[in-house]
Amino acid sequence: MGTTRETITLTDKQDQWIKAQIAAGEYTNDSEYIRDLVRRDQEENTKFLALKQATQEGVVVIFEVISSQQSAIIRYYSGV
């Protein structure tokens, strides 16, 4: 796995937060903290996309059920 060096700009408050996480022993340096944020974001995005897909599939199923019920009701009342 290759690496890329990036330069980012943070507010003083953001920088202090990262430094506090490092001081607390959560991370060894700024880069480790940022990489962890990116990994978590990637994981959350994967979960979100799976949920979005499941929701879309569920909407299609619900629409199909409603459509079939409407057809049955129409047939019932039209005497078909």
Task: Write out pLDDT tens, residues 4-16.
Answer: 999 999 999 999 9
**What's the confidence (pLDDT) of residue 69?**
76
pLDDT, tens digit, 9 for 90 and up, residues 63-75:
777 877 777 777 7
The string of DSSP codes covering 17-43 is: HHHHHHHTTS-SSHHHHHHHHHHHHHH
CA pair distance 20, 2, nearest whole angstrom: 28
Q: Name which residue leads in pLDDT, 76 or 35.
A: 35
31-75 pLDDT tens trace: 999 999 999 999 999 999 998 888 888 877 777 778 777 777 777
